[in-house]
Structure 1
Amino acid sequence: MKQMQHMQTPCLLTCLLFVTALPNAYGNEVKEENNQTEKQHCETKDCANLEHIQVNGQFIGIEVPEVIGRAYLNRDFINATPKGNGDINELIALLPGVQLSDEAMSIDSLAEITAPEISISGAQPWQTGFSLDGMNYNNRVDPATSSRLTASANDVSGGVQTMNVNSDIVDSITVYDHNIPAEYGDFSGGIVDVKTKSPFLTGDSGSIAYRTNQSDWGQYHIIQGDEEKVSETADALEPPSYTKENLDLSLQKRFNKHHGVLFSVNYMQSEISDLSLQTMQTQKRTNINSLIKYSYRDGWIDKLDLTAMYSPYQSDAYLKDVAASDYKLEGGNMGLIANFANDTKFGYWDTKINYSRSDSSREGPEHYFSWLQIKGKEWGQLADQGDDIRLSQEGGYGNLDTVQDTINIKSSLDVPRFEWLSMEHDIKLGGEYTSQSVKRDRDQDSYNYNAPQYIFNPNNPLDCNGYTLDCVQEQYRVDLTTLAEQFGGTFNFNDPEQSLAYAENTLVAAQYFSSRQVTPQEHIDVSLSRQSLFITDSLKWWRLSLNLGLRYDYDDFLKNHNIAPRLSVGYDIFDDGNTLLTAGANRYYDASLMSYKIREQQRFSYREYRPIRDSRLQGWQPSAYTGEFKYQFDELDTPYDDEIALGLKHATQSFGNFSVKYVRRLKKQQFSRVRSDEVSEDGYKYIRMTNNGTGSSKRYSIAWDARFAGHSLWANVSYSENKASNLSYDADADNTPLEELVYYQEGDEGRAVSLSQLQMLKTNFASPVIANIGWNVDWLDSLSTGLSATYKGAYDNAVKTTRLESYGLTQECSTCAIETVYLSVYEKREIEARIMVGLNLRFNYEFVKGQNVELRADITNLFNARTNTVTEGFSGVEPGRMYWLGASYNF
């Protein structure tokens, strides 16, 4: 092939071994059926990115001896590894330096089908860059929200990624965690580079597959806490009832040596039934991954791939223990991708052009009510709210629609290798352009009524003055005059008999809301463009391999010229390509700029109050607590991470590959907020952003993988410490938007904190020790198994509870009493260590040549261990052993 003419033998040999050995390779042996895979991967120019290492036929595992810090998971690894929903993040979480979110093991996530969040090298989940065939699918609108399945007034909760990528459509996954090349930018964690299947890998083929998982097949742990902490509904604790189904269809047709087409669709749905207000209710989730790809090879151009993707997500849900709260979430991604490459006299030219549109919308009740739990509003008695708060909650957060459009063009040139100054040089240079726009629409104000007041005055009853939505007048079985006649015409409430009669005659008690939180209608339309240039010179001299890289970025929001050096070096200790000592010093600039630009225009909630005179309700008026906030991003530097990495990688003839790494990140110029107590002339309190935030992470990792006959084994262990701080900011209702306030409880002490502060606490509580091990075996031609186990050490975390905490605001008006709002309570709790084991069994039966049926079973939490997501002293439910069963027809 033309694009391989300038490549030298060591690079070609490395590429061939690299793609065939993961994880089912046998050292020197190269199987005939893998020839197409070998050619295809070398066609994509992966060879040019590998280090020039002399390979003597040893096993090449998940990590190869190279300076770049990356792991490669091929289709064999994906098939063999036990899986639950099948999202690729489940696989990535098995690699060193990667942490799975705490919520991934909870009972609430068991029935869900969305991707669990991951953190790479101590970064926040949204600081990792996700790419599929060159198309970025990061959510830049509200990436800090913990789950796309919850809702709040100002967020649809679209999650870190704009779509959930099922592993059934994936050919390979490359994960970069340190010494990341200069061609990658807009991240401060890691890079996840996903390649979809290609018709040139397997030729003419197709498959139909079905998998299912049901709650009745699983086991559960019902945890009863200490008597003092047992909730009133603890005796009624039950796991959710659900059914999950996964249908996959794939067709690949290679018409000739030039043309091929692939069609793939993966459909997953989950129906969840759970108790809400002691009534069984059902929610439904659906997720689709579909693509059609046309591929062209070795004609007027060496490589051309045209792909159309459609990956919608929908959730029909409700707010637990909230009446009349049904809402619908719609999200997902649509993308058009054009990738083409050609070998020219100037070098190997590779260009990727893509357009994507992701949407995240919510339809639901416009207003949220927190009624007092009294006559006529008693349903809150069926919910567990703790001992102090007695509310009956109703409604939702209104409609909100967000659309994100992205155009990305990236082009690079691999210059043919040449020798200069007694050194071999491989130069890769290129540029990237990204244009992104976001439209966010809320068509009407949404009210959160959260300051209920009870009135008991039979002689002067409450007059709602026409307000029927947020005020309730007393209603009786018989009128008070008739009832009073039974006691001589008047009531004496000091008489227990008369008081009881009055209470039994009351159908609805009088109450109203004295203040409300207003989330105003808004129409935001923001855009951002970013330009980048990058160059890397891969040098080979004596026993040294050096990657000297530089990346330049500019965006039209912060308007900073950012220069990021990427320097890494490898020393071949024994000059045989088997033992490599590595070091690196790199800078990575963050990329969550679009979400900051949205915040700059976003209108946060404000307060309104209404007085009452002689039991007659008055109209709504602006509160002294305006709550009119705006963010200010002026003259800020771009946050970045400086990385120092040290490593030792060793490949053996008989015992596989070993690697030891130390990765240190210093987070600098991080965004932080300063107090905003004064109201400016335009009526807003400006939250001024500074670069005073700091942070750090360090990680020690050891990894090993090997192949012995039909057995593939791998293992890794990591110890990490993460820290984040923002000492210049204290949160209270006067300087923080109310929707960003929560209540944090640590022992007997509690305080209001912002969501950003809470995220810092959770970062500082990160798990220090994580270990993974895997064992994949082909016992027979028709029988294979895969076993994986994960150990996660004990750690502290900020855990959300079902409780609410009353929080006093400044006076609404000069004659008003101090009002209160109710904040969600998070508690510091210790999460005990846990070990999770998964097992995969596959039986393949070929009944006609070229046609076979595969039966598959995936078992998560094989030994029915506790996940420890319910902490000591508290009540709850934990998932135990769970089963996925499936069958596929392949032809």
Structure 2
Amino acid sequence: MCKKLLAMLLLGGSGFICPALSVAEKHDFDNSVYLMQEILVKDTADIRATGQSVISGTVLENLPAGNATLTDMLKVLPGVQFDEAYGSAATGGEILPPEVSISGGRFYDNYFSVDGTGNNSFLDPTQKSVNSLHEVPGHSMELSPSPDVLESLTVYDSNVPASYGGFTGGVVDARTRTPGTEFSGAFFYRTTRDSWTRFHLNDQEKHQMHHSANASWQPKFRKEHYGIRLDIPVTENMGFLVSFREDRSTIPLKNLGGTLDQTRTGQHFFVKGSAFVSDWDSLDISLTHAPYEGEYFHRDAVNNGYKIEGGGTAIRARHLREKGWGSLDTSLSWRYSENKRISQSSSWYRWAITPSKNWGMSTSAKSSSMEGGYGNLEREQDTLEANTALKLASFSFAGTAHSVETGLSLSRVKGREKRPEDAFIYTSPVTDNSNFRADPNDVSLVLGEQYFSRRQVLPAYEAEAEIQSLAFYLSDTMSWKRLTLRPGLRISRDDYLENTDLAPRFSADLDVLGTGDTVVTGGLNRYYGQAFLSHKLKEGRGRGSRNEWRTTYQNQVTPWEHAGGSETAWRFSDLDTPYSDEWTVGLDQRLMGGRLTLRYVERENKNEFARERGSYELDGLRYDTFSNKGRSDYRSVRVSWGRRWEEREILANLSWQESHTHAIDFNELLVEEDKNSRRVWYEDRLYYLDELPKGNYARPWVGNLTLIQKLPWNLSATAFLSWKSDFDEIRDSREVGELPESEKERDPVTGEVLRENAPIYEKVVRKAFWQMDLRLKGKLPFGSRFAATWDLEVMNLFDTEIRTSDNTPLMGRQFWAGISLEF
């Protein structure tokens, strides 16, 4: 059946859909009958600025994309790469948007915006562990916009205009749609589950799945997406768009011989009012409330529940005035977001199995009875932002046409991090002395059975930070005969790094024949990154934890005493802003009735943060500082070809990339226990882990084919084929090698060796793979005002077995089913 459906798509020709075209043929589609998708291009001038891709609302609605989040939609574009664990069979119940790398940048180096103002999280976007002592998981986006309310999605992967800053990767600019002029709406529901999914697991993975007691292996899950959309016109010149969507997942897991449900819930409530207040003024005001909550538990423990909360609220306003002299576009926003852990307990106990603490006998380990949690952690971000852009009407000067744009951006970001009370991790229970005496109210012992001899104390603290930023830009689009030049300059400064950064932008294109058939493009640009609140908040934590111990003296349990040991403190100061220098060259050519686009992009990333490792001092702390000695480079060749007919569209693209890094990754700056700063062996040499070749978001070759077909009987189909080449993964071999004497870490007080071995890393070749996804949609009208739309989505249509690492099998064939009632 699958092959017959594919044949139907391929027969009869192909269509056209391309993100970087100079000229686009436009056709009128009856969207009430045919559910087509397209990537729109605005006009010739915009398209010649290579690197811009505009995805319309129809592709957001119709692309086979599983969870159908904003970043899921970016997979159709060249120059965009996903995490190797994207689509993992082990975590099928998760609902958060995937992270993406654009033009070789790290996934947290992108700039996200919604309706002209930012949407980036300045907390810790790299922390993904839900089980960390010191961290709370975050995401690169503050809020996750629902594709249901988007009109278009613009992605810049190179030659980014001067109006954007604060990135060294790419720009993802989402625009919400304007309310409709007629009252209309829809109820919708989509679902999938484990019984609709094929898994390709080895024997060990099957055992892990069957006996799974934590969220890293999710044998069963049920996902549901449901909501409502309403377009409510009030007058001819004013209307409202109201939308609510909830994504919910239930994940049953084992715990102490029984089963408990973990849940994930993401909500997106959106209301937007739009009005034409005069012949030349329009006003948009929107409210977004998009919380996320995950309910978890620590495996095989009692009193073990905790919640992870994220997302937040945003209010945005935009005023646009368009007159003969040009336009003035002003955007304002207030945003609040949070990353929190709310734990049932602030103490974690690893009890020995004794008569009163015997529930551990029902676990597979049967060695400990565990209890409690790691306590509450709170991170909050409060943002005020104002942007204004003035575009002057085109004018002529000295034989050239000019279109000048200038703008100003102001922002104030406040961050707060808090552990409201001390948390404790109790280990090393003593059971060989049942006659000890102690305070009967001490919760860390059981009289006559056991007491803990060691604990880690995580002190309560509160840290606050604020970053104020200012940016100004000026650009001009200059046209002379067949040549167009776009010089620009962006100047930015913040009060944290205290640098004034000048980012020149320049791109050009030449219409070789003056017909639009052959256009040569090029560009030279600089992009500056952004400061993260996590840097300042990290400094405010002070000592992250301390170790304590106790024993008995004359059968009396002694008070807790400091146990020594070594820890790391962090200093961020006197640093330059990381930046990326880019040059590009490209060709846009009419070919075979469609458009061929060829691009080369090269970037050199400089002043990236690199670790300057300090020595341990008498206070037990190692003071590490950070320099700008890090650097990385990236090269990419991308070719796209597409064509569109009235009933069919096709887009094919192929990308090659190569990157090298010599800088510490942001995650290593913040990761718990500094584990990624340790030395490792690779090819008989010692490296810091961050110095090893990049092992994620780094497939050398990636190819995509998007095919859209309008079928009879009010049906449509979209097929998406992706291919990823093999690549070399650098992985931990699970073996260790002894460190040289000078590299061994010692306790600064006692001289005791704390670390004498380092992990040995090795190179493993990961195989290439391809995957096809298919989505079928149909519409059943009921009179002139009502219709029912159904869709069937098949991810990994041919059930290809894919393994991107030893521990990452991807999903086999998975079905999604949905229905929408429209009125």
Name the TM tier (shorter chain): 0.7 to 0.9
The sequence identity of aligned pairs, in percent, is: 26
Of stretches 371-380 and 630-639 in structure 1, the one that deviates more from structure 2 is 371-380
Among residues 258, 282, 285, which one is paired with 1:303 in the alignment? 282
Name which of 596, 618, 628 aligns with 2:558: 618
Question: Residue 293 of structure 1 aligns to which amino acid in structure 2?
Answer: K
Q: How do 1:38-437 residues align onto structure 2 when only pairs under 5 Å count? A: 51-52=44-45, 65-146=47-128, 150-200=130-180, 203-224=182-203, 240-276=219-255, 279-297=258-276, 299=278, 301-321=280-300, 324-364=303-343, 365-370=345-350, 394-437=371-414
1:616 and 1:88 mapped to 2: Cα distance?
A: 61
Cα distance change, pair 378–760 in 1 and its aligned pair in 2 (3 A): farther
The separation in 1 between residues aligned to 2:812 and 2:545, in whole angstroms, is 44
Instruction: Quote the residue 1:740 is aligned against.
Output: 674
User: 1:257-304 deviations in whole A, cap 9, x for unaligned?
Assistant: 311111111111111112345542211111111111111126164221
> What TM-score do you get using the length of structure 2 for normalisation?
0.86
Q: For residues 720 and 262 of structure 2, what CA distance do their matches in structure 1 show?
A: 31
What letter is aligned with 1:775?
A: L
Query: Which residue, 471, 492, 512 being the options, matches 1:532?
Result: 471
The counterpart of 2:593, out of the listed 638, 643, 655, is: 655
Cα displacement (A) at 1:330:
1.7
Q: Deviations 1:545-567 (Å, cap 9, x if unpaired)?
A: 11101000010111111000011
Q: Distance in 2 between matches of 1:750 and 1:465?
A: 54
Change (3 A) 1:525 1:765: closer
Amino acid at match of 1:883: F
Moved more, 269-278 or 182-191: 269-278
Kindly state the Cα deviation for residue 102 of structure 1 after the two structures are TM-superposed: 2.0
SS at match of 1:740: helix
Alignment of 1:688 onto 2:625? yes
Distance 2:549 2:66 in 1: 52
**Contact 1:860-1:881 within 8 A present in 2 as well:** yes
Shift of 1:204: 2.8
Query: What SS does the corresponding residue of 1:439 show, helix, strand or coil?
Result: strand
User: C-alpha distance in 2, partners of 1:862/1:297?
Assistant: 47
The 2-side partners of 1:356 and 1:140 are apart by 12
Contact 2:209–2:219 (CA under 8 A) maintained in structure 1:
no
Does 1:601 pair with 2:580? no
Whether 1:794 and 2:792 are equivalent positions in the alignment is no
Structure 1 residues 517-526 or 119-128, which shifts more? 517-526
Opposite residue 422 of structure 2, the aligned amino acid is D
Structure 2 equivalent of residue 776 of structure 1: 708
1:883 is the counterpart of 2:815: yes
Displacement of 1:22: 11
Match of 1:706 among 621, 643, 657: 643
* Root-mean-square deviation over aligned CA pairs: 4.0
Q: Does 1:842 align with 2:777?
A: yes
How far apart in 1 are the matches of 2:734 and 2:224? 30
**Conserved in 2, the CA contact under 8 Å of 1:538 and 1:548?**
yes
Shift in CA distance, 117/718, structure 1 to aligned 2, threshold 3 Å: same
Q: Which amino acid in the other structure matches residue 868 of structure 1?
A: R
CA, structure 1 residues 109+117, in 2 after alignment: closer, same or farther (shift >3 Å)?
A: farther
Q: Secondary structure at 2:185's aligned position in 1?
A: strand
The structure with more radius of gyration: 1
Which residue type is aligned with residue 379 of structure 2? T
Tell me, in whole angstroms, the C-alpha distance in 2 between the residues paired with 1:247 and 1:264. Answer: 11
Quick one: distance in 2 between partners of 1:802 and 1:374?
34
- What is the aligned partner in structure 2 of residue 501 from structure 1? none
Report what 2:585 is aligned to.
646
CA distance in 2, matches of 1:685, 1:748: 25
Whether the 8 Å contact between 1:673 and 1:728 is mirrored in structure 2 is no
Aligned residue pair count: 790
Q: Secondary structure of 1:73's partner?
A: strand
Q: Distance in 2 between matches of 1:448 and 1:827?
A: 34
1:154 to partner: Cα distance: 2.1
Name the structure where strand makes up a greater proportion of residues.
2
**Which residue is equivalent to 2:571?**
632
Amino acid at match of 1:120: I
Q: How does 1:481-492 map to 2 (within 5 A)?
A: none
**Residues of 1 paired with 2:738 and 2:97: CA distance?**
34
CA deviation after TM superposition for structure 1 residue 780, in Å: 2.3
2:654 counterpart residue number:
717
Q: Distance in 1 between matches of 2:276 and 2:18?
A: 21
Query: What's the offset of the Cα at 1:417?
Result: 0.6
* 3-state SS, counterpart of residue 93 of structure 1: helix
2 CA distance for matches of 1:759 and 1:526?
30
1:644, CA displacement in angstroms?
Answer: 1.2
Corresponding residue for residue 13 of structure 1: none
Unmatched tracts of structure 1, length 5 or more: 1-17, 35-40, 53-63, 476-509
Kindly indicate whether the alpha-carbon contact (under 8 Å) linking 1:745 and 1:825 is maintained by their aligned counterparts in 2.
no
Offset at residue 464 of structure 1 (A): 6.1
Query: Deviations along 1:450-481, whole A, 9 cap, x unmatched?
Result: 5x2656468xx666676844456664xxxxxx
Against the structure 1 CA distance between its residues 554 and 233, is the aligned structure 2 distance closer, same or farther, given a 3 Å change threshold?
closer
Distance 1:823 1:382 in 2: 36
Q: Secondary structure at the match of 1:221?
A: coil
2:11 is aligned to none
Separation in 2, partners of 1:801, 1:232: 22
Distance 2:754 2:169 in 1: 42
Q: Assess if the C-alpha contact under 8 Å between 2:103 and 2:169 holds in 1.
A: yes
Q: What TM-score, normalized by structure 1, do the two folds share?
A: 0.80
**What SS does the corresponding residue of 1:76 show, helix, strand or coil?**
helix
Within 5 Å, give how 1:826-837 maps onto structure 2. 830-837=765-772
CA separation of 1:641 and 1:728: change in aligned 2, threshold 3 A: closer
Secondary structure, aligned partner of 1:112: coil
Shifted more, 174-183 versus 708-717: the winner is 708-717
Whether the 8 Å CA contact 2:692–2:730 is kept in 1: the answer is no
Describe the SS at the equivalent of 1:672. strand
State the one-letter code of the partner of 1:582.
T
Question: 1:805–1:192: structure 2 CA closer, same or farther, 3 Å change rule?
Answer: farther
Q: For residues 44 and 745 of structure 2, what CA distance do their matches in structure 1 show?
A: 61
Aligned 8 A contact 2:56 2:153 in 1: yes
Matching residue of 1:671: 609
- Greater shift, 185-194 or 166-175, is seen at 166-175
C-alpha change, 1:738 and 1:144, in structure 2 (3 Å) is closer
Partners of 1:72 and 1:709 in 2: how far apart?
20
1:438 is the counterpart of 2:415:
yes
State the distance in 1 between where 2:691 and 2:440 align. Answer: 44
